[in-house]
Chain A
Amino acid sequence: MEILNNLALGFSVAFTIENLMYCALGVTIGMLIGVIPGVGHLAAISMLLPLTYYVPATTALVMLAGIYYGAQYGGSTAAILLNLPGTPSSSVVCLDGYPMTKQGRAGVALFMTTIASFVGSLITVVVLAAFAPPLADFAVAFNSADYFSMMLLGLVAAAILVQGNPAKGLAAVVFGLLLGIVGTDVSTGIQRYTFGLTFLYDGLNIVAIAMGIFGVTEVMANVGKVIQVKSDQKITFRSLLPTRSDLKQSIFPMLRGTGIGTGIGILPGTGTSIGSFIAYAVEKKVSKNPEKFGKGAIEGITAPESANNAAAQSAFIPTLTLGIPGDAVMALMLGALLIHGITPGPNVISDNPDLFWGLVISFLIGNVLLLILNIPMVGLWVRLLRIPYPILYPSIILFIVIGVYSINYSDLDIMLVALFGVVGCVFLLLGFEPAPLLLGFILGPMMEENFRRAMLLSRGDLMVFLERPVSAAFFAMIAALIVWSIISAVRKKRVAVTKEF
């Protein structure tokens, strides 16, 4: 009964006062930034990344993950009430959620999205607990060539799927890989691209990069754009209650949404938005009366909400078992692991069972907390929509700079945040996605090490990547992805896939 032992371990870890506190903190912050338009979960996670240095790895991950899935719950609130998506993945919910508000069914929409989110998360947590350990066991047999190919696949997939233009997506990855080179070369001890600056010897600080390109850039892009909203919606408890047919119509959409979201979340480079878009499209296709969609169809809000929450949870599967992050949020999770000296990869679960199982159980706790935060307290969140952005953003910037300063007490780290804020704006201007850059930065050093090791073992024979079956399979997938992206670029049918920001 190994699984019971593992779950017992998980409960004992997740139910310590510290982890419960940080779990509650994480989901509350997530909910908060999900509700408030113009503040994304990436900005919030990078803002709180410095806290990672003060708490154990498990606690840090519990909190950061809480922000992520909490934001998925919160995002639909503004989408339903104001037609303003709080997070990108909830923009689909606007389509049918806002019409429901206009029909006076805002309460039902809020209630049902919360239930859908909860169902999606819960099922996926079970999937995570069931499938992550065997997947990790399988991956333990990988050698350095397999690892390299797998990480390469992760990067190429992220680059190609996140962005409309594959060449620019790959370029963004290369930028990240180059930033990962800065610092002391592990195998020769030579300083690369440090230009004699001592503070670069240990490499660039991941927190400073993330805060700059996600936090600061997001603020700069939103100043003056976020319109002051005036919501006089009053949500009474009675108005929340759905009718029997609302519930009945939602069961299968929720399950289908969960399935789609789980599958999409596992793929690298996709993230939560794509899951909810596909779930919506599928519902419209299978529906007996598709003309209802866009006019307040309950399936149009429950399926995507289940999907994005499922994707937010299943994204942890490749991150924790293989060490390949699917999107920028997962890259930051790996960053938190690296900060604590834990090398991401298949050994994470076997070496740190307390971390994995504690995290799994904390997902359960966090989702129950979110259920409580959402349903009785919905009125409070609605009121939060009125916080003016001019008060919010100087506070965000201040917390970012003090946060990054607190890591090394180095004013140069603050300068680095400013620099990467500007870099993020240049990226925005020229149309590069910042997420592949972060993935490249995190995976780069590990890839170089594995490549070197593979070359040393094979005596410089590149064929080793095609001779190993696992590695060859990864390379076949890389080739297929590239061919597919070229074909679709030629056909010009590609729609720029949603931005995960």
Chain B
Amino acid sequence: MYTRVNRDFLAGLACLLIASLVLWQAYAYDMGTLRNMGPGYLPRFLGISLAVLGVITMVFSARTAMAFPSLNYRALICITTGIVVFALLMRPAGLFLATISLVYLCGLSERRFQPVRLGMLALALCGMSYLVFILSLNMPIRLFPWSF
């Protein structure tokens, strides 16, 4: 059948890729028997199913595929980085610094960078999260790099 690289072809390929990773790891687990299933039974079954579904998706991809949706890659990168940096800063640097860095990194996903507006938003959010999470919910979260 005529196939070419399109959205569903790639989707099927992704299924195959993940299925092979799953199966590769699944062989480390004991399969057991149907009567007394081991920990490896379900992973193997699911891995094979995923591979089959991937092949089906690929075979029919020429008929089923639709165009790729437009994705805002800039937002994807900026927001993901923002969350990761927040995770890294939370413990050592405290909530306030982590919040400010998150707001600025998220703000980078806009075409126009507005440092003053983001600064105001960051300050407002610091205040709000202090009220909600620290004062009313009493969460033990470090606030500044030098506190407790």
Q: Do A and B interact with each other, yes or no?
A: yes
A138 to B142, CA, bound (A): 52
* Contacting residues, chain A, for B64 (C-beta < 8 A): 164-165, 489
- A168 with B11: in contact, given A185-B39, A452-B37 (CB under 8 Å)? yes
* Contacting residues, chain A, for B1 (C-beta < 8 A): none
Minimum CB–CB distance from A446 to chain B (whole Å) comes to: 12
Taking a contact as CB atoms under 8 Å apart, the answer to whether A406 and B35 are in contact is no
Taking a contact as CB atoms under 8 Å apart, the answer to whether B83 and A221 are in contact is no
- Main secondary structure, interface of B, reads helix
* Contacting residues, chain A, for B20 (C-beta < 8 A): none
* Contacting residues, chain A, for B139 (C-beta < 8 A): 406
Minimum CB–CB distance from B23 to chain A (whole Å) comes to: 11
Per-residue CB proximity of B60-88 to A under 8 Å, as 1/0? 10011010110110011001101110111
A425 within 8 A of B: yes
Minimum CB–CB distance from B7 to chain A (whole Å) comes to: 6
- Write the chain A residue with the least CB distance to B95: A402
The contact sample of 26 A-B pairs, CB cut-off 8 A, is: A165-B8, A171-B15, A171-B54, A185-B39, A190-B29, A220-B71, A223-B75, A224-B111, A402-B133, A405-B90, A406-B141, A409-B141, A411-B90, A414-B84, A418-B83, A418-B84, A418-B87, A426-B14, A429-B7, A429-B71, A432-B11, A452-B37, A455-B36, A456-B35, A460-B34, A462-B34
A454 to B42, CA, bound (A): 14
* Contacting residues, chain A, for B91 (C-beta < 8 A): 411
A386 within 8 A of B: no
- A431 with B121: in contact, given A178-B22, A460-B34 (CB under 8 Å)? no
Taking a contact as CB atoms under 8 Å apart, the answer to whether A415 and B11 are in contact is no
- Write the chain B residue with the least CB distance to A421: B80
Taking a contact as CB atoms under 8 Å apart, the answer to whether B76 and A448 are in contact is no
* Contacting residues, chain B, for A187 (C-beta < 8 A): 39
A-side residues, CB < 8 A to B, are 54, 164-165, 167-168, 170-171, 174-175, 177-178, 181, 185, 187-188, 190, 192-193, 216, 219-221, 223-225, 390-391, 393-395, 397-399, 401-402, 405-406, 409, 411-412, 414-415, 417-418, 421-422, 425-426, 428-432, 448, 451-452, 455-456, 459-460, 462, 489, 492
* Contacting residues, chain A, for B33 (C-beta < 8 A): 460
Taking a contact as CB atoms under 8 Å apart, the answer to whether A219 and B79 are in contact is yes
Minimum CB–CB distance from A50 to chain B (whole Å) comes to: 10
Taking a contact as CB atoms under 8 Å apart, the answer to whether A181 and B42 are in contact is yes
Taking a contact as CB atoms under 8 Å apart, the answer to whether B76 and A175 are in contact is no
A460 to B34, CA, bound (A): 5
* Contacting residues, chain A, for B29 (C-beta < 8 A): 190, 192
* Contacting residues, chain B, for A224 (C-beta < 8 A): 72, 75, 109-111
Minimum CB–CB distance from B26 to chain A (whole Å) comes to: 9
- A390 with B107: in contact, given A171-B53, A174-B49, A418-B80 (CB under 8 Å)? yes
* Contacting residues, chain A, for B68 (C-beta < 8 A): 429
- Write the chain A residue with the least CB distance to B110: A390
B3 within 8 A of A: no
Taking a contact as CB atoms under 8 Å apart, the answer to whether A460 and B82 are in contact is no
* Contacting residues, chain A, for B106 (C-beta < 8 A): 393-394, 397
- A394 with B121: in contact, given A190-B29, A411-B91 (CB under 8 Å)? yes
Taking a contact as CB atoms under 8 Å apart, the answer to whether A398 and B99 are in contact is yes
* Contacting residues, chain A, for B71 (C-beta < 8 A): 220-221, 425, 428-429
Taking a contact as CB atoms under 8 Å apart, the answer to whether B42 and A415 are in contact is no
A208 to B87, CA, bound (A): 13
Taking a contact as CB atoms under 8 Å apart, the answer to whether B109 and A397 are in contact is no
Minimum CB–CB distance from B115 to chain A (whole Å) comes to: 13
B123 within 8 A of A: no
B97 within 8 A of A: no
A326 to B53, CA, bound (A): 23
A401 to B122, CA, bound (A): 15
* Contacting residues, chain A, for B140 (C-beta < 8 A): 409
* Contacting residues, chain B, for A394 (C-beta < 8 A): 102-103, 106-107, 118, 121-122, 125
Taking a contact as CB atoms under 8 Å apart, the answer to whether B11 and A430 are in contact is yes
A190 to B25, CA, bound (A): 13
Taking a contact as CB atoms under 8 Å apart, the answer to whether A174 and B90 are in contact is no
Minimum CB–CB distance from A222 to chain B (whole Å) comes to: 8
- A178 with B103: in contact, given A224-B111, A430-B10 (CB under 8 Å)? no
Taking a contact as CB atoms under 8 Å apart, the answer to whether B76 and A167 are in contact is no
A17 to B132, CA, bound (A): 20
* Contacting residues, chain B, for A489 (C-beta < 8 A): 60, 64
A245 to B117, CA, bound (A): 50
* Contacting residues, chain B, for A460 (C-beta < 8 A): 33-36
* Contacting residues, chain B, for A170 (C-beta < 8 A): 49, 53
A414 to B80, CA, bound (A): 10
A177 to B34, CA, bound (A): 19
Taking a contact as CB atoms under 8 Å apart, the answer to whether B79 and A397 are in contact is yes
A418 to B68, CA, bound (A): 22
A431 to B66, CA, bound (A): 9
* Contacting residues, chain A, for B22 (C-beta < 8 A): 178
